[in-house]
């Protein structure tokens, strides 16, 4: 009952988005996507298919020329204040972690809530320590990022985004830069996050994660969305020929 | 919808407004300066004019490449100064490159003594002001040279208080005579520039060789090349990619440093310009000529080094 | 690069001192020959130098002019103000040193302490200063070292905001120091033509060092900005300044600045030169800082922006703290050049250290004492520049150890 209600709230709506790079390359061609609250959407596709570009338009890191993107009721337009508002509500996790190396783990988490939300430092610190405990690294709170392993750094990065209490989380290939033995600890954290009801858009090559966690899988190629399907259908019976080709390549 | 976004929040409008404001500010400052300049210059009766360039300069230069005398006009004096600058710059470029390369490579020698001497030379020279070194060389070393029969002479080279004599030299009535005589001022300036820039170039060369991955040395050695061949055939060609841009900076610095000639009385462009200004009061014109000339010299060096750079970079492909 | 190569070296076998020497200098006949030639050349040069320094040089010229070289013609009755300034400087320096190092006394600090103590005991006596002046210097050094150790002990209890703003104390010290030097506000005025020697060198160098940082930062930000007009403006400024020899800019400052400003607004010769030095240094500082900015990966900015930080917050909390650390060695290099470049002021007739030295040498009484004066000056400059260089290298090593800058 509650799930059905939540599913009706649209968190992200992209309509007819077109992006040209400054060099003229048509990176996104008329892409549409709707994400409901509490949903986990996994975007897959060969490299260069525009999936990262698409994800990065959702918080204004990448520009788009035509079309519209509405996130949590806020339109991404030319208004700088609305962009800032969207970035406050949307968390992002990068392939390269992008932790701030000159700050301790704890300061990485507290920087934005204190600066952007104007919250009291002691209160944010308490919340940050709880989050670090949730991702399993609260003993490292006073170390610098350079002293942590890749998997630990990525979990800190997730906690850093969560500390802003986002309504939507974006993951841009969060496990691609990790050594194989560290992939699972990060996916574990993401899975728990999804189970907690977080709305997530994930660009990844991890098929097992997509099968187990995703509500829907999106296949992109050459800047276009070719197929959107539930994971069981997508992986067992893909409709589009490019989906079949892609799946045969990664298996 | 779009029109209703206020300008200070508009993503496309705001950058242009910022730039327009900055440009306006700069234009305002510049026009204020220029209007002051015009007011002050006309009050002093010195409005921009180039006619004075044709009037006789009335001062002599110690040495010139062109035939020049005190009765010749200012433009010829300035041109002679420019040629004097170019002469010392060109000679110093060659000398400093040779010295710097030798010292830079010496810092990789197996001989510990040679290595540490190279280090000491670089550290001593880099941490002393060039002007002071120049004054030291000129007043202490070169003016302290003996003259006449006791001058330092090697076959073809005689260094005496009267200058540097090149070619077969002979002592006539206690005065050295040779096909080429370079003044003591020129020699001291050249020496100071070579020694000073040599230290910086040595650092550029050392940095360039160090930037070549150690694997390249190992590969050369495993192919059985002798250390000298590994350096000359494998490492140096790769190091040049790092060295050439660094050399460009050092060469430009050297060209600019040559303007310290005024301290020892060598008639380079700047020192002629200073005398000219003192005599004519034409500050703006003189400064424009000097800055323009150095800009041209810098551009010429950069163009030359960019050409060299392309050659070196192409080498790799 | 070089450090990683050091780590690849195998552990050194224990060799006898003689064997090490043989390998280092006499590995083969050619090496031996080179070494022998170098040794004899170095020994001959050292012997000549020593003979000159101990027997021929007449060091009296230094002692006779030490006050002139240090202060120029700063009037005797007002010199207590300079002493006061020295006490202020040694207070701030001692506190800064202690707060930086806390309770640890690394080898470099011990070395610096030893050198400082030695200099204090030797130099004033060597230039034949009266005992009272010598004692004054001892007091200054003792006070500095005392503060160094007590501040180090208390550093842990100093709140972090104080430490973060500590660097801002130096401009305050400069302004109050200039107040003491120049007078006014009840103090007798000492006009700027009376400032000279090392005092003037330091006034000019410190002015330019303090001001070229904010100016250079603005230019570096302009040059790396996405706004084409700002970028072009910054490039034009930087390339114009870097294309011109400093002496021609100083010449421009002395001869044209008066025409460019409305009558009466033009600063006097000393401040005109200081502004030219600032303008000159800021172009080079901008390039050093730009290299630092360029070294910060784009992901750092993207992460900061996705967390909701605005441009200013991203710069001040994420980009600049890292970029400045990267740029630090280059910045110190620029400061060293700047200190050396102050000697050019003597060419436009200012009586800074080198200018004062040249007036001393023009005095018939000290004619021909060139070597003595220039050697002492060279040593002075060399020590200052080498100390700056060593300090920056120590800082670099420490920052590298912290791994506190993102790497691509």
Domain architecture of chain C: domains with CATH? 190-354 (1.10.3720.10)
Distance CA C295, CA C351 (A): 41
Asked if residue B96 has pLDDT above 90, the reply is: yes
CA distance A204 to chain C (A): 18
Unique residue bearing structure tokens 């994660």: A209
Q: What is the pLDDT of residue B314?
A: 62
* Dist. CA B36–CA C262, nearest whole Å: 6
Taking CA atoms, C120 is separated from B235, C124, C140, C385, in Å, by 49, 7, 9, 19
Q: Considering only CA atoms, which of A109, A87, A244, A81 is closest in space to residue A169?
A: A87
Lowest average pLDDT, out of B43-47, C168-172, C387-391, goes to B43-47
Write out the two tokens for B24.
């306006």
**Residues in C touching B260 (Cβ below 8 Å):** 247, 344, 347
CB-based contacts of C318, cutoff 8 Å, min separation 6: A100, C300, C301, C303, C304, C309
Q: Which residue of C has its CA nearest to A159?
A: C307
Q: How far apart, in whole angstroms, are the C-alpha atoms of residue C259 and residue B73?
A: 26
Per the CB < 8 A criterion, the answer to whether A168 and A91 are in contact is: yes
Give tens-digit pLDDT for C10-58: 555 566 777 777 777 777 788 888 888 889 999 999 999 999 888 888 8
Instruction: Give the pLDDT confidence score for residue C408 in this predicted structure.
Output: 44
Query: Nearest CB to C259: which of B19, B37, B135?
Result: B37
* Residues of chain C contacting residue B246, judged by C-beta atoms under 8 Å apart: none
For B117-175, what is each residue's pLDDT tens digit?
Answer: 999 999 999 999 999 999 999 999 999 888 878 888 888 888 888 888 888 888 888 78
By the CB < 8 Å criterion, does B295 face chain C?
Answer: yes
| Nearest C-alpha in C relative to A147 | C403
Is the CB of residue A159 less than 8 Å away from at least one CB of chain C?
no
Residue C142 — φ and ψ, nearest 5°?
A: -60, -40
In whole angstroms, give the CA distance from residue A61 to residue A76. 11
Q: What pLDDT is recorded for position C114? A: 92
Contact check, Cβ <8 Å, C309/A112: yes
Residues of C with CB under 8 A from a CB of A: 297, 299-300, 302-310, 313, 317-318, 321-322, 325, 402-406
* Mean pLDDT across B57-77: 85
Cβ–Cβ of B5/A83 closer than 8 Å?
no
Q: What are phi and psi of B236, to 5 degrees?
A: -60, -45
CATH of the domain at A202: 3.40.50.300
State the DSSP string of B274-308.
HHHHHHH--HHHHHHHHHHHHHHHHHHHHHHHHHH
Which B positions 73-112 lie with beta carbon below 8 A of chain C?
Answer: 110-112
DSSP B139: I
A92 close contact with C: CB closer than 8 A: yes
pLDDT of residue B59: 85
In a domain, A155, yes or no: no
> What is the average per-residue pLDDT within C311-324?
92
Cα–Cα distance between C218 and C348 in angstroms, integer?
Answer: 29
Give me the residue from C300, C307, C404 closest to A164, CB to CB.
Answer: C307
Tens of pLDDT, residue by residue over C266-289, are 788 899 999 999 999 999 999 999
Residue A81 within any structural domain of the chain: yes
Does the beta-carbon distance from A98 to C308 stay under 8 Å? no
Number of CB atoms found within 10 A of residue C294's CB: 13
Whether B11 sits inside 8 A of A80 (CB atoms) is yes
The DSSP-derived string for C108-168 is: HHHHHHHHHHHHHHHHHHHTT--HHHHHHHHHHHHHHHHHHHHHHHHGGGS-HHHHHTGGG
Mean pLDDT of chain B: 88
pLDDT classification of C405: cutoffs 50, 70, 90: low
Within 13 Å of residue C400, how many CA atoms lie on the same side as its CB? 10
CA distance A98 to chain C (A): 6
The separation between the first and the last C-alpha atoms of chain C, rounded to the nearest angstrom, is 15
* CB atoms C305 and A164 under 8 Å: no
d(CA A129, CA A159): 10
CATH number of B53-147+182-316: 1.10.3720.10
Q: So what's the pLDDT on residue B221?
A: 85
**Chain A residue with minimal CA distance to B11?**
A78
Q: How far apart are CA C137 and CA C89, in angstroms?
A: 13
Contacting subunits of A (3+ beta carbon pairs below 8 A):
B, C
Q: According to the model, what pLDDT value does residue B14 have?
A: 87
Q: Does B291 touch chain C (CB under 8 A)?
A: yes
Whether chain C has a CB inside 8 Å of the CB on B178: the answer is: no
Q: Does A65 touch chain C (CB under 8 A)?
A: no
Judged by CB atoms closer than 8 Å, whether chains meet at B14 and A80 is answered as yes
Which residues is A203 bridged to in the sheet?
A: A43, A172
Closest-approach residue (CA) in chain A for C304: A112
Q: Which of A60, A77, A80 to mutate to test the interface with B (most CBs of B within 10 A)?
A: A80
Beta-carbon separation of C35 and B287 below 8 A: no
Average pLDDT of B197-225? 90
Interface contact C300-A100, CB threshold 8 A:
yes
Q: Do C297 and A98 touch (CB under 8 A)?
A: yes
Inter-chain touch A144–C402, beta carbons under 8 Å: yes
Cα nearest neighbour of B123 on chain C: C386
Pairwise CB contact (< 8 Å): A78 & B1: no
Contacts with A77 from chain B: Cβ below 8 Å: 1-2, 5, 11
- Verify whether the Cβ–Cβ distance B114 to C228 is below 8 Å: no
How many Cα atoms within 13 Å fall on the side-chain side of residue C171? Answer: 10
Best of B9, B124, B129 to disrupt the C interface (most C CBs within 10 Å) is B129
Contact list, B5 vs chain A (CB under 8 Å): 77-79
Torsion of the alpha carbons at B117, B118, B121 and B124, rounded to the nearest 10: -90
Q: Does the ipTM surpass 0.90?
A: yes
pLDDT at site C6: 46
Pick from A98, A111, A115: which is nearest to C299 by CB?
A98
* C303:A116 CB<8 A: no
Name every chain B residue with its beta carbon within 8 A of the beta carbon of A81. Answer: 9
| Chain A residues inside the 8 Å CB shell of B13 | 78
In order of A8, B280, C57, C253, C304, the CA distances from C259 in angstroms are: 73, 16, 48, 10, 47
Question: Using one digit for the tens of pLDDT, what is the confidence trace for C63-118?
Answer: 888 889 988 888 888 889 999 999 999 999 999 888 877 778 888 788 889 989 99
CA-based nearest residue in chain C for residue B298: C243
The verdict on residue A60 lying in a domain is yes
CB-CB neighbors (< 8 A) of B257 in chain C: 245
- Which residue in this structure is represented by tokens 């540490």? B116
For residue A151, CA distances in Å to A95, A177, A182, C301 come to 11, 9, 5, 22
Do B2 and A78 count as a contact with CB atoms less than 8 A apart? yes
- Smallest Cβ–Cβ distance between C31 and the set B111, B259, B260 belongs to B111
> Is residue B193 a contact partner of residue B96, using CB atoms and an 8 Å limit?
yes
pLDDT value for C9: 52
A42 phi/psi in degrees, rounded to 5: -105, 130
CB B168: neighbour CB atoms within 10 A? 11
Q: What is the pTM of this model?
A: 0.88
**Number of domains present in the structure of chain A:** 1
Query: Looking at chain A, which residue has its C-alpha nearest residue B15?
Result: A80
| Chains in contact with B, where contact requires at least 3 CB pairs less than 8 Å apart | A, C
B with C: how many residue pairs have Cβ under 8 Å apart? Answer: 148
CB–CB of A80 and B1 under 8 A?
A: no
Looking at the domain assignment, is residue A206 inside a domain?
A: yes
Instruction: Encode chain A (251 residues) as per-residue pLDDT tens digits.
Output: 344 445 578 999 999 999 999 898 999 999 999 999 999 999 999 988 999 999 999 999 998 999 999 998 888 888 888 888 899 999 999 999 999 999 999 999 999 999 999 999 999 999 999 999 999 998 999 999 999 999 999 999 999 999 999 999 999 999 999 999 899 999 999 999 999 999 999 999 999 999 999 999 999 999 999 999 999 999 999 999 999 999 888 87
Query: Collapsing DSSP states into helix, strand and coil, what is residue A238?
Result: coil
Query: Would the pLDDT of C8 be above 80?
Result: no
Rounded distance between C-alpha atoms, residue C201 and residue C381, angstroms: 11
């Amino acid at each position: 009952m509650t799930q059905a209600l939540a599913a009706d709230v649209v968190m992200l709506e992209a309509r007819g988005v077109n992006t040209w790079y400054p060099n003229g390359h048509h990176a996104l061609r008329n892409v549409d996507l709707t994400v409901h609250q509490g949903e986990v959407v996994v975007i897959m596709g060969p490299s260069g298919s525009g999936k990262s570009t698409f994800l990065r338009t959702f918080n204004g890191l990448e520009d788009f020329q035509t079309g519209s993107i509405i996130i949590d009721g806020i339109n991404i337009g030319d208004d700088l204040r609305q962009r800032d508002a969207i970035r406050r509500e949307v968390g992002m996790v990068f392939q390269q972690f992008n932790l701030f190396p000159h700050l301790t783990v704890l300061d990485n988490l507290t920087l934005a809530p204190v600066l952007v939300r104007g919250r009291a430092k002691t209160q944010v610190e308490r919340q940050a320590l709880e989050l670090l405990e949730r991702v399993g690294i609260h003993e490292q709170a006073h170390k610098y990022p350079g002293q942590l392993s890749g998997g630990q750094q990525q979990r800190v990065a997730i906690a850093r985004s969560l500390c802003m209490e986002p309504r939507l989380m974006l993951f841009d290939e969060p496990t691609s830069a990790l050594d194989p033995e560290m992939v699972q600890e990060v996916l574990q954290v993401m899975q728990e996050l999804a189970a907690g009801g977080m709305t997530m858009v994930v660009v990844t090559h991890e098929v097992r994660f997509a099968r187990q966690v995703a509500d829907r899988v999106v296949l992109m190629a050459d800047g276009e969305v070719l197929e959107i399907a539930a994971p069981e259908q997508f992986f067992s019976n893909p409709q589009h020929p490019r989906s079949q080709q892609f799946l045969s390549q990664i298996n | 919808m779009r029109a209703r976004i206020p300008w200070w929040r508009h993503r496309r409008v705001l950058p242009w407004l910022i730039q327009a404001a900055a440009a306006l500010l700069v234009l305002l400052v510049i026009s204020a300066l220029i209007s002051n300049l015009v007011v002050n210059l006309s009050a002093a009766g010195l409005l921009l004019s180039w006619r004075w360039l044709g009037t006789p300069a009335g001062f002599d230069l110690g040495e010139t490449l062109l035939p020049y005398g005190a009765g010749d006009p200012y433009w010829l004096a300035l041109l002679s100064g420019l040629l004097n600058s170019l002469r010392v710059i060109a000679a110093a470029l060659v000398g400093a490159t040779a010295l710097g390369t030798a010292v830079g490579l010496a810092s990789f020698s197996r001989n510990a003594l040679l290595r540490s001497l190279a280090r000491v030379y670089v550290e001593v020279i880099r941490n002393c002001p060039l002007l002071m070194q120049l004054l030291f060389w000129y007043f202490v070393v070169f003016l302290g040279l003996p003259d006449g029969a006791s001058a330092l002479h090697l076959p073809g080279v005689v260094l005496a208080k009267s200058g540097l004599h090149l070619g077969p030299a002979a002592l006539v009535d206690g005065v050295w005579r040779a096909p080429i005589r370079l003044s003591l001022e020129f020699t001291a300036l050249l020496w100071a520039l070579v020694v000073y820039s040599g230290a910086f170039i040595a650092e550029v060369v050392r940095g360039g060789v160090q930037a070549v991955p150690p694997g390249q040395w190992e590969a050369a050695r495993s192919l059985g090349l002798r250390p000298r061949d590994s350096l000359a055939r494998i490492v140096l060609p790769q190091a040049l990619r790092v060295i050439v841009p660094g050399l460009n900076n050092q060469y430009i610095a050297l060209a600019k440093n040559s303007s310290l000639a005024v301290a020892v009385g060598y008639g380079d462009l700047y020192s002629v310009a200073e005398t000219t200004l003192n005599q004519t009061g034409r500050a703006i014109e003189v400064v424009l000529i000097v800055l323009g000339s150095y800009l041209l010299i810098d551009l010429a060096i950069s163009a030359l080094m960019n050409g060299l750079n392309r050659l070196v970079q192409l080498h790799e492909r | 690069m070089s450090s990683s190569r050091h780590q690849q070296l195998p552990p050194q076998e224990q060799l006898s001192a003689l064997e090490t020497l043989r390998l280092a200098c006499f590995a083969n006949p050619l090496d031996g020959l080179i070494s022998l030639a170098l040794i004899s050349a170095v020994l001959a040069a050292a012997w000549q130098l020593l003979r000159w320094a101990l027997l021929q040089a007449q060091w009296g010229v230094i002692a006779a002019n030490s006050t002139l070289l240090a202060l120029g013609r700063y009037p005797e009755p007002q010199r207590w103000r300079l002493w006061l300034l020295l006490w202020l400087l040694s207070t701030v320096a001692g506190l800064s040193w202690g707060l930086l190092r806390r309770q640890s006394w690394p080898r470099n600090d011990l070395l610096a302490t030893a050198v400082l103590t030695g200099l204090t005991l030797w130099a004033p006596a060597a230039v034949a200063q009266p005992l009272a002046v010598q004692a004054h210097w001892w007091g200054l050094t003792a006070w500095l070292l005392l503060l160094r150790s007590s501040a180090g002990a208390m550093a842990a209890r100093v709140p972090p905001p104080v430490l973060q703003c500590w660097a801002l104390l130096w401009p305050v010290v400069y302004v109050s120091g200039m107040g003491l030097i120049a007078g006014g506000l009840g103090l007798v005025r000492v006009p700027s033509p009376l400032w000279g020697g090392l005092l003037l060198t330091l006034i000019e160098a410190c002015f330019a060092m303090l001001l070229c940082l904010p100016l250079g930062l603005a230019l570096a930000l302009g040059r790396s900005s996405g706004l084409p007009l700002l970028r072009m403006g910054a490039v034009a400024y930087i390339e114009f300044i870097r294309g011109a020899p400093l002496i021609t800019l100083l010449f421009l400052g002395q001869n044209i600045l008066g025409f460019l400003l409305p009558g009466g607004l033009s600063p006097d010769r000393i401040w005109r030169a200081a502004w030219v030095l600032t303008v000159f240094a800021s172009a080079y500082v901008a390039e050093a800082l730009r290299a630092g900015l360029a070294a910060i990966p784009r992901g750092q900015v993207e992460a900061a922006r996705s967390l909701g930080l605005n441009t200013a917050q991203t710069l001040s909390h994420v980009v600049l703290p890292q970029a400045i650390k990267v740029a630090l060695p280059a910045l110190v290099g620029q400061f060293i050049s700047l200190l050396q470049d102050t000697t050019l002021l003597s060419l436009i007739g200012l009586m800074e250290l080198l200018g004062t030295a040249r007036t001393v040498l023009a005095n018939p009484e000290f004619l021909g004492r060139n070597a003595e004066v220039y050697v002492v000056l060279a040593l002075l400059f060399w020590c200052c520049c080498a100390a700056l260089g060593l300090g920056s290298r120590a800082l670099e090593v420490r920052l590298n150890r912290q791994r506190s800058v993102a790497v691509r």
